[in-house]
Chain A
Amino acid sequence: MKTYLGIDVGSVSTNIIALNEASEVLSSKYIRTNGQPMECIKNAMKEIARDLQNLEVAGVGTTGSGRQLAGIITGADIIKNEITAHATAAIHFYPDTRTIFEIGGQDSKIILIKNGMIVDFAMNTVCAAGTGSFLDHQAERLKVPIEQFGELALTSTKDTRIAGRCTVFAESDMIAKQQFGFSKGDIIKGLCEALVRNYINNLGRGKTLTPPYLFQGGVAANVGIIAAFKKELRHEIIIPRYYNVMGAIGAALLAKDYLEKNGYQTRFSGFEITDVNFVPKTFDCNGCPNACEVIEVTREDTVIARWGDKCGKWTNEISYSPPGYLTEAACS
């Protein structure tokens, strides 16, 4: 059976999905990265291979902050940024969508769509307030498992105002509210609302947000946040069925489209890679005062890829060049 794999390596989770030729999802894996992207990719690939019998991989696409690494070890056909990947998946399932909210582990985006095409987008800048990591951190502080975080917010009927602009201020606000006797549910509800308010104010500034709204990314599992979105927008929002692996689906769709359009064969390295020892390593080049951090990936003691240097001294040294940015413009 012909299958297309999509791999999204993010800061918090690594997701792999398999699509069939009709672009239907056959299998999806959502695994916490825990700082070990390499192991995560391998494990998830193993699981996919176990789930689906007589798998014939016809194409691979990678996305997320670890897209380069994932692309190199799997032999990806396309390596795409996460904004394009998320939008591609969203448009695939909901062609009429106009606004996509995506909140992941360490970044968040708003993507505006018109006639099935991206017309504008915004992505959070230096601050991680208002992302999944922020919620994780606060859940830990309140000793509430993150899975129950959202439900707890729904138990509250009070309005609790918490400053959402900055994690540090939100925290001091929360401590104050606890001391005033607000319940955990009240505080979490206030926190969800603060996060959504901050998100829409920051990323949506100067943009017209038109329904239908789509909400995807790991944080879309949180019913408290969903409720806060509805309250803030005064409108229904759609949570796609595969909300937490949309980036991976987008990557697979892009790979499929790219290969079909150009009539290329996949460069997929095969499932054997799950047993191969890949070691990523970083070293500081001391060739000039730039001291670039060069990333090097070895496969069984052979260097298969290097990147990260400004001058190209290390990148050019090896024959295998990762499917790079140059090809990306050509395929869109």
Chain B
Amino acid sequence: MTAARIGLPTALMHSYYRSFWKPFFEELGLEVIETGPTTKAILNKGIRYSVPEICAPMKIYTGHVLELLDQGVDWIYIPRFVSIRKGDVFCPKFLGLPDMLKHTIPDLTSKMVTHHLNVKHENIACMKEYLEIGKLFTSNYRKIKNAVQTGRKKWLEFRKYCVLERYNCQTANGKVFTGKPALQSDLPIKIGVIGYVYNVYDDILGMDIISRLYKLGANTVTFEMLEQGEIDRQLRGYKKRLFWAFSNKLLASAHQFFRDATIDGIIHVTAFGCGPDSFLGKILEINFSQSPKPFMTVRVDEHTGESHLQTRVEAFIDMIAKSKNFKE
């Protein structure tokens, strides 16, 4: 008997939790199908099936789901992210994602594997959440427990590379799955990039901003490199946190980046029409307008013109390089 195939859409939170999900489902005896980097074809599929007003990351996710259906997988795992920290929630679009997809893609209903992810810690690998999922595929309790533990170990390894060795989400996944170390060289400039993983590391949306910066002579740091304790410490000064889990992480990383003297400039990558980012962007603007550190917001959307991004990023790096040369 061949193993049932389960699809993981390579979008939204996938790059952050891939190292848990993939081994988890594999341990359950399933064959895991990933859609890989977003392509124009996937984006176009997503746009065709989505309401026009929704943000590009959601359209891209829809495209990946359609791609998996086309590949004829047996199951598609679409979790409903509710909370990964007490008091923090996810953007309403994440809360409604499985329902939205079910109603836009009728064929999906019988294949969708979903559940509420409502935990107190960003380490989502726990039996409380994944027992029900495991039961869909096996009645063996030990097997499920073992799968959760295997996944958990991998995910912790992933986080270890991010936090201790300063890998970003993409390179840390590469390290965990293929053992390939990240390209690291000491470049003259260091830029803090603030953005959700599904914007920054998406091939179409993020337009390779990390490697663009690298080619221009700049290393980058991102929020994944901070551990939760550090995130909470940075936000201690706020009477009230933002509602959204990852927006809080970004806000905290911004504070850290502005304080860190080795970071030369900060770029906020945001998707057009992002609700949480409209708050985050404004808070950054108010809190850091007096900071001498260069700050730029780059707005990305489903359009594919890269020249605007390239011009801005180049000018930003030129500006920093020039003032650094001057100081030295």
Contact = CB atoms under 8 A, between A and B. Distances in A.
B315 A83 contact: yes
B322 to A, nearest CB: 5
A84 B39 contact: no
A252 to B, nearest CB: 16
Interface string B33-61: 00000011110000000000000000000
Contact of B315 (A65, A121, A126, A292): A121
Contacts of B218: 329
B318 interface: yes
A124 to B, nearest CB: 9
B92 to A, nearest CB: 24
A104 to B, nearest CB: 12
Contacts of B301: 126
A117 B217 CA distance: 19
B326 interface: yes
B27 interface: no
Contacts, number: 87
A326 interface: yes
B319 A121 contact: yes
Interface string A68-83: 0000000000001111
Interface in B295-321: 295-296, 299, 301, 303, 307-308, 310-312, 314-319, 321
Given A83-B311, A206-B285, A118 B319 contact: yes
A115 B319 CA distance: 12
B322 A65 contact: no
A120 interface: yes
Interface stretch (A46-54, A211-219, A283-291): A283-291
A119 B294 contact: yes
Contact of B215 (A123, A125, A205, A326): A326
B289 interface: yes
A84 B216 contact: no
A204 to B, nearest CB: 12
A291 B204 CA distance: 12
Contact of A329 (B40, B208, B312, B321): B321
A126 B301 CA distance: 10
B322 A291 contact: no
Interface residues of A, number: 29
Contacts of B39: 288-291
Nearest to B41: A289
A332 B317 CA distance: 9
Contacts of A121: 296, 315-316, 319
Contact of A328 (B42, B307, B318): B318
A325 interface: yes
A332 B318 contact: yes
Nearest to A254: B318
B325 interface: yes
A117 B294 contact: no
B31 interface: no
Given A310-B203, A330-B217, A84 B41 contact: no
B311 A81 contact: yes
A185 B303 CA distance: 38
Given A118-B322, A332-B318, A332-B325, A325 B216 contact: yes
A280 B326 CA distance: 40
Contacts of A289: 39-42
A311 to B, nearest CB: 11
Contact of B314 (A291, A292, A328): A328
Interface of A: 65, 80-84, 115, 117-121, 123, 125-126, 205-206, 288-292, 310, 325-326, 328-330, 332
17 contacts: A81-B318, A83-B314, A83-B315, A117-B323, A118-B318, A119-B294, A121-B319, A123-B311, A126-B303, A206-B289, A288-B39, A289-B39, A290-B40, A290-B203, A325-B216, A329-B188, A330-B217
3 closest Cβ contacts across the A-B interface?
A329-B217, A289-B41, A83-B315
